[in-house]
Structure 1
């Protein structure tokens, strides 16, 4: 059941984000930069769970659109630090609103307390497996 609901959620995300020329990776990256601040590409990959090959492509798209900027890391000039632009902050807000709407659509049949319980349980599962379980 988890896999089937996940597939439905993914379908809705692809449709809703695609309508504004975005992808789920874009939201995850922008949200991470808003929440946790600038980071190296490797750190962003760890924070978001996006594989490096997919991460570089998504960052290229975000940079081309003017949402992020890469600059040399002052501590290690071989590495880039990715940061948000003002336009990227605005895009993060827009995509966050869409993500909340997607969650509302996906969880529509559940009451408020049921939604809280489900998201709490999913959070516990995610944290367990993220930490190596």
Structure 2
């Protein structure tokens, strides 16, 4: 191992520059977004907000499908749904066609809570990309969607 000589502009021998790695940069960008989110929407996590947003689009949906549409694994989806259910923001019921499945939907309070916070959610996204020009924002979003 080389000696620690403090900060330097020299590139390491291995060629791996952390500040140039997509995963690191995406995580840092997400951290920025999470801080802005928590400053604007204190009583929900970004994941809970995403689940509620998807439910406004899909209506009543299976827990499994809900998780897939927001990019969550089964255990995480169940935890998020359980926490929202405990707060009275979502309702769960057995699927009448397949009793093994749980259908999830927003309650009236859930709809109200989401629609009241939706403008704040838009503001969070705007603030996250505030350093970018409008053209850069459009290109950034296009490129992120292309990666997905």
Q: Same fold (TM over 0.5)?
A: yes
Gaps in structure 2 of 5+ consecutive residues: 1-24
For the structure 1 residues 6 and 25, does the alpha-carbon distance in structure 2 shift closer, same or farther, using more than 3 Å as the test? closer
Q: Deviations over 1:53-86 (max 9, x none)?
A: 2211211121122111011101111221111112
User: What whole-Å deviation, never above 9, does each CA across 1:69-127 have from its counterpart, x for those lacking one?
Assistant: 0111011112211111121111222332222111111111222222112111111212x
Cα RMSD for the two superposed structures: 1.6
The separation in 2 between residues aligned to 1:89 and 1:119, in whole angstroms, is: 27
Q: Which residue in the other structure is 1:68 paired with?
A: 90
Equivalents in 1 of 2:116, 2:141: separation in Å?
22
Equivalent position of 2:16 in the other structure = none
Among candidates 71, 74, 79, match of residue 101 of structure 2: 79
Query: Computing the radius of gyration over CA atoms, which structure comes out larger, 1 or 2?
Result: 2
Provide the TM-score with structure 1 as the length reference.
Answer: 0.83
Gaps of 5+ in 1: 127-133
Structure ranking higher in strand proportion: 1
Deviation by residue 1:8-61 (Cα, 9 ceiling, x = unmatched): 2223223433x2x11112111111111122111111111111122221121112
Distance 1:48 1:108 in 2: 24
Separation (CA, whole Å) in 2 of partners of 1:66 and 1:99: 20
TM-score, normalising length from structure 2?
Answer: 0.75
Say if 2:30 is the partner of 1:16.
no
Secondary structure (helix, strand or coil) at the match of 1:77 reads coil
Partner of residue 49, structure 2: 27
Choose between structure 1 and 2: higher helix proportion. 1
Aligned length: 124
